[in-house]
A and B are shown apart, each in its own frame.
Chain A
Amino acid sequence: MGALKDTVSVVGVGATDYRDDYRCEAGRAANKGSGARDSYQLAARSLRRALADGGLHKSQIDGLCVGGPIRVERASELFGINPSWAIAADAPRAIIQATQAINAGLCNTVACIYGNAQRSQNVQYGGGKAMGGSTALSYVYYAPWGMTSQGALYAMMFKRHQLTYGTAEEQLGAVPVAFRKHASLNPNAVMGEPLTVAEYLDSPYIAEPLRLLDYCLVNDGGVTLIIQRADRAKHSKQTPVNVSGFGWSGLSVDATQLRPRLKDFYYPAHRAVAAQVYPMCGYGPRDIDVYGTYDSFSAHLLFSLEGFGFCPEGDAGSWIQNGRIEIGGELPCNTSGGMLSESYMQGWNHQVELVRQLRGGLGVRQVTGANIAQYTQDALGTCLSVVYTKGG
C-alpha cells in the first residue's frame, strides 16, 4: 500500500449550510418530517460549492463516489456526469477507493458526494420504523425484547467498558463538552451553545448509561470532496491535501450477538487498521496533529483512542480529561464539533474539517501547526482510517 502514499490529493471541498438549514426553518415547511428537502439537491449544492472551492469545472469530473441514500445512476443523471468509474461508499471508503481507481488509471478527478435529507424525511434510527435489518441484522433482531437503536448498542458497549475499566459517566462527558466547544467556534455548526459537564449530567438518558447529549444530531445536509491525481493537484487553486495513508478491517464476525463490541471494544479491528495506516503514511499516533472520529455516539472516541494506541486500553476515560482533546490540547478531536454538534453527515463532514485544518486559516478554530490529520471510523461492520497530510 505504500506505493499509493501521496498519489492523490483533495483539491476541493463543499458543504451545505447545516446551521441555517436546521435552525432558520424551525416551524416552517422544511423541518422535521416535512419531506420538503431532497438528498440529491443537498448533494448537488455541496458539489457546486466544492467545484467553486477547487476552481474546477464539472466537465473535469470523470469519477464518482456517492454516499448516503443517493444512488450512482440517478446521481449521474441529476448531476449531468457520465463517469468512467463510479461506486457507492461511505466517506473513508470513498477516499480509499477513489485513490485506488485513480492509481489504476480508471479516472483522474473523482467527486465524492454525499447528500442526506434525513431530518426532513424523518428517517428513524430506532423503533418499529428503523432502518436496517436487510444488510445487517443488528438490533432489528432483538425487537421482541424491546432492544433497538444503534445508540442502545453503544450504550451496552459503554456499560461494558464501565464494568471492565471503571470508566465514569462524568469522564465520558468530556467528549460532548469538547465537541460542543469546537462547534461554538464553527459558524456552520448546528449546535453552538457551550456546554458544561454538569449540564451534560443533567441531560436525560436515552438508553442509560448514554444521554441525549451523547447522541449525534439528525439533520439535513450534503458534502462533496474532490480528489485528483497528485501531479495534477500541484496546480490547484487551494493548498492540496494529500491522502497519505489508509487502512480497512472488517468487524462483522459475530456482530449481531455483539461479541466484537462487548468482548473486544473493536480493538482487534482498530489494531489491524493501525497496522496498515501508520506504516503506509510513516507516522504514528504521537505525530497526529488533528484527529477526527466517527461520533454517532460520544463513546466512539474512547474505543478508537484505545484501539489505535493513543492511550492504553481502558484508560481513555481519564486520558481525555483536562482539555487534552480540545483545540489547544495534545490531540484536538472533531474540531468542527463532529456529528454530536456540527452535523450528522455520517463521517463526511469530518473529512472536510480535516482538509480545512490542513489548509489552514480557520481563525479561532485553527489547530496551530496542523500538518498531519487522521480520521478513524468503526461503524457499519468495518473499521477504517485515512491519514491526510498538507501537500503543495
Chain B
Amino acid sequence: MAPGRPPRVMDPCSAEFWHYTETKELRVQKCSDCQKRRWPPSPFCDACLSEDYTWPVVTGLAKLLSWVVFHKQYFPEYPPGNVVIAAELDEGPIFISTIDHSYLDMLRDGLSLKVGWVEGEDRLGQYHLPIFLPA
C-alpha cells in the first residue's frame, strides 16, 4: 500500500495532472493561444482566457527559490522535519513540493533540482507525488 497523504484538491484539470503522475510524467498546462504555462491546473488561461491548451511534459529541472522546515505537525502523515520547497521550473511556473530532509544542509538559493517520485494515496486513489532532488 502506498503511504497515505493529505487530500488532493480535485477538479477535472487537476485530475488530468494527477493521471499523468501514474506513469511518472510531470506535465504542466500550456495555453495554445498565448503559450503561457500555467500552474495549478485550470480550464482556461489566466493571461488570455483561451480554453485551448495542451499538457506538454516538462523537463523536471528547476531552481530552488525558497524553502521552509515544518516544526509544528499539522498533518498526521507529515511528522515534524518536513521540508517544503518552492522550485521554479525551467519552463517558468513555480512548483511547491518537498525535498528529503537529508538534503537540508545542501539547500541554497538557485540550487539546481530535478524531479523525483514517491508513492501516495488518498481517498481518491493511488498516485505518484512529484518531489525534487538535487540535480
Q: Which A residues have a C-beta under 8 Å from some C-beta of B?
A: 126-128, 133, 137, 140-149, 152, 155-157, 159-160, 163-164, 204-210, 253-254, 256-259, 262
Contacts and interface: CB of A to CB of B under 8 A. Distances in A.
Contacts of A143: 5-9, 75
A152 B9 contact: no
Contact of A148 (B40, B71, B75): B75
Given A206-B71, A207-B72, A147 B8 contact: no
29 contacts: A128-B6, A143-B5, A143-B9, A144-B5, A145-B96, A145-B98, A145-B131, A146-B5, A146-B6, A146-B78, A146-B82, A146-B98, A147-B96, A152-B84, A155-B68, A156-B67, A156-B84, A159-B68, A160-B86, A163-B109, A205-B69, A205-B71, A207-B71, A256-B40, A258-B94, A258-B96, A259-B94, A262-B65, A262-B94
A256 B70 CA distance: 19
A142 to B, nearest CB: 5
A253 B46 contact: yes
Nearest to A252: B46
Contacts of A127: 74-75
B93 interface: yes
A381 to B, nearest CB: 13
Nearest to B7: A143
Interface string B54-98: 000000000001111111101101100010101000000111111
B78 A209 contact: no
A388 to B, nearest CB: 35
Interface of B: 5-9, 39-40, 46, 65-72, 74-75, 77-78, 82, 84, 86, 93-98, 108-109, 120, 122, 129, 131
B71 A160 contact: no
B14 to A, nearest CB: 8
Given A133-B9, A149-B74, A257-B95, A142 B84 contact: yes
Top 10 A-B pairs, shortest CB-CB distance: A146-B78, A143-B6, A127-B74, A160-B66, A208-B69, A163-B109, A205-B71, A257-B94, A155-B68, A146-B82
Nearest to A256: B40
Contacts of A148: 6, 74-75
Given A128-B7, A207-B68, 11 more contacts: A126-B74, A128-B75, A141-B40, A145-B96, A146-B82, A146-B84, A156-B84, A157-B66, A205-B69, A254-B94, A259-B94
B9 A137 contact: yes
A146 B93 contact: no
Contact residues of A: prevailing secondary structure: mixed
Contacts of B129: 144-145
Given A207-B72, A257-B96, A145 B84 contact: yes
B98 A257 contact: no
Contacts of B98: 145-147
Given A127-B75, A140-B9, A146 B70 contact: yes
Most chain-B Cβ atoms within 10 A of its Cβ — which of A127, A144, A152, A257? A144
A144 B6 contact: yes
B66 A146 contact: no
Nearest to A205: B71
Contacts of B6: 128, 143-144, 146, 148
B68 A209 contact: yes
